[in-house]
Structure 1
Amino acid sequence: MGRSPAFRFEGGREGVLLVHGLGRTPDEMRLLGKGLNRAGFTVVGVQLAGHGGDEDELLASGWEDWYASVEAAADDLRGQVDRVFVAGSSMGALLALRLAAMQPTWVAGVGVYGATFRYDGWSAGWATRIAFLLPLFKRLGIGRDRRLLQWPPQGPRDERLRESFGRGMPSGPAGPIDRDGDSWHALAETVKLARDVRRRLPAVLAPCFIAHALDDEVASPGNADLVARHVRGPVEMLLLADSYHRITIDRERRTLIERSADFFDRIAREARIARTAA
């Protein structure tokens, strides 16, 4: 699989950093990024360490490396705009939340799209029962070439979108949708990341826009509820009834774009008003 470079769309003085999911590329966030840019935001899609190359490169990286990519991109962006918002998909949502917890003065708001703390969607099968063991397996060197498979269909709920994104583009905007599942050792890193971020959720003070598919095949809406219950910032929730896990490219992506742009814009306007009043 060829590399997919990070993208940047120049806009106004409000910036949005977009974070892709495990084994994916910034392209799964590109449609969202274009929509936010049309709404006036400067948008950057970060390329996570270890992603965009072959599987050996992915397995040589860990969640700390992925988070370091996000923090470095956010630090760069905040020097160029007045405010930074961060939004992530799936595992990327966890990285976005961690940035808000670790660097609260950097993050004005968080987009939490299909957050995956637990692999408990309807296609996960027995994956949810062994996920907690994966870090141990990795430490013992067990299962490097093993994968957790999902029941089909994979990718967007819309069959035409699934075919277009899976076949009509070199690897689709979300990476190869018809891949053979996720490596145990890569998933082990997401389990460790989820444990770390879950402990840090009360440190998230920024407003959170939480979007999740009701019929998410990877991570049940209980993952969204988990975030809403434990963060300390204001929460706005969007539950999507006609999408699967990849909500940034699925049937309701326009709704996601509009609601995200409105959420970030309201925060930015309130901040400007508060600054003027002061």
Structure 2
Amino acid sequence: MVDQQSADPAIIKGAETIDLQEEGSHGVLLLHGFGDTPQTLSLLARRLAKRGYGVFAPLLPGHGRDMAAFQRARAEDWIDAANSSLTRMQQRYAFVSVIGLSMGAALAVLIAADTKMISSLVLIAPYLGMPIQIRLAAATHWLWGPLAGEINARNPRSIRDPIERERNLAYGAVTGRTLFELSKVVKRSRKALPGVTAPTLVILSREDPRVAPAVGEFALKTLGARDKKLVWTEGAGHILTVDYGREHVFSEVEKWLRLHDGRSATAAEDDRAAVERP
């Protein structure tokens, strides 16, 4: 089922929040990327729901509507939405895992660092580092942004599968202001990595045009979690949940969730402490 957003005429058809409630004890929060929508997570959401997980993938503020709405959205809005969505899932389920894609992975890091009550964390193509030229553009957005307006940001290599590329509902454009808001999320999430203790899986493509391999390796090294793993996939671009090789991604996600099913991060840390205690 979809939530009340389905009745909002401003939302692009197919971009609505995904809300698949199940009777089990384990819920999964899915967070989409910058300028994109939950549509990129729909295949994974349905897959997890069939496995008995409750799934919630919110449409983030300013997304799935138009560029004017995107321009008005702020980093704090996205972070608040991620936090409130986690609270919603924790009220429904005894155990909650969080999966983020691209900027959604950066948001997932932020909320995971703030709570120890997450069973597991999955970061798919995590946008945790901006190339220097984009960082500079974001920092000086006030200077050039009003003159440049909307900038085409589509990259055909982000989704190599032509059918899925055609289906994608992303804006495909940025402004100076939206880049600046993205940079704030990235900066905060990088600082938050050491505070993440939940078991964390990082999934990256070696052909990702937006996330360099070094970013994934940095994330793995910096994460505070003791239980962490980096998995590489081949043939896909950036949106790994719809691109070539997505079945491999889904399989790795399922295995990670099962491995940590029914356990909070706090319980896992307590177990490790007991084992290590002399």
TM bucket (normalised to shorter chain) is: 0.7 to 0.9
Out of 110, 123, 129, the position equivalent to 1:112 is 123
Instruction: Give the C-alpha shift of residue 146 in structure 1.
Output: 4.4
Q: State the partner residue of 2:191.
A: 199
Out of 216, 236, 239, the position equivalent to 2:229 is 236
Instruction: Give the C-alpha shift of residue 107 in structure 1.
Output: 1.8
Out of 101, 108, 117, the position equivalent to 1:96 is 108
- SS for the counterpart of 1:268 is coil
Query: In the alignment, residue 147 of structure 1 is paired with which amino acid?
Result: I
Count residues in correspondence.
Answer: 255
Query: In the alignment, residue 165 of structure 1 is paired with which amino acid?
Result: E
Out of 87, 94, 97, the position equivalent to 1:82 is 94
In 2, distance between residues paired with 1:235 and 1:247? Answer: 19
Query: In the alignment, residue 2 of structure 1 is paired with which amino acid?
Result: I
Aligned 8 A contact 2:95 2:263 in 1: no
- Can you list the C-alpha shifts for 1:62-117, whole angstroms capped at 9, x where unaligned? 11100111111110111111111111111110000111012x23322111000112
Query: In the alignment, residue 117 of structure 2 is paired with which amino acid?
Result: W
- 1:32 paired with 2:44, answer yes
- The runs of 5 or more residues in structure 1 that have no matched partner are 120-127
Q: What's the C-alpha RMSD, in Å, of the aligned pairs? A: 2.4
- Can you list the C-alpha shifts for 1:8-60, whole angstroms capped at 9, x where unaligned? 12232101000000111111111011111122211111111111111111110
**1:4-19 → structure 2 map (5 Å cutoff):** 4-11=15-22, 12-19=24-31
Instruction: Give the C-alpha shift of residue 149 in structure 1.
Output: 3.9
- SS for the counterpart of 1:142 is helix
Q: State the partner residue of 1:124.
A: none
Out of 232, 237, 240, the position equivalent to 1:247 is 240
Aligned 8 A contact 1:99 1:107 in 2: no
Out of 18, 21, 29, the position equivalent to 2:33 is 21
- 1:264 paired with 2:276, answer no
The answer to which of 31-40 and 134-143 deviates more is 134-143
- Can you list the C-alpha shifts for 1:167-204, whole angstroms capped at 9, x where unaligned? 4xxxx2x414xx65432321221111111111111100
- SS for the counterpart of 2:19 is strand
Aligned 8 A contact 1:208 1:236 in 2: yes
- SS for the counterpart of 1:108 is coil
Q: State the partner residue of 1:2.
A: 12
In 2, distance between residues paired with 1:82 and 1:27? Answer: 26
Instruction: Give the C-alpha shift of residue 141 in structure 1.
Output: 6.5
In 2, distance between residues paired with 1:201 and 1:237? Answer: 15
In 2, distance between residues paired with 1:60 and 1:83? Answer: 34
- Can you list the C-alpha shifts for 1:205-238, whole angstroms capped at 9, x where unaligned? 1111100001101111212111101111111121
- SS for the counterpart of 2:145 is coil
Instruction: Give the C-alpha shift of residue 263 in structure 1.
Output: 0.6
In 1, distance between residues paired with 2:144 and 2:235? Answer: 40
Q: State the partner residue of 2:135.
A: 132
- SS for the counterpart of 2:197 is coil
TM-score (norm 1): 0.84
- 1:69 paired with 2:81, answer yes
Q: State the partner residue of 1:142.
A: 145
Q: State the partner residue of 1:45.
A: 57
Aligned 8 A contact 1:135 1:192 in 2: no
In 1, distance between residues paired with 2:209 and 2:139? Answer: 25
- The runs of 5 or more residues in structure 2 that have no matched partner are 1-10, 272-278
Aligned 8 A contact 2:158 2:209 in 1: no
Instruction: Give the C-alpha shift of residue 139 in structure 1.
Output: 4.0
Q: State the partner residue of 1:214.
A: 206
Q: State the partner residue of 1:175.
A: 169
Query: In the alignment, residue 62 of structure 2 is paired with which amino acid?
Result: G
Instruction: Give the C-alpha shift of residue 142 in structure 1.
Output: 3.1
Instruction: Give the C-alpha shift of residue 147 in structure 1.
Output: 2.2
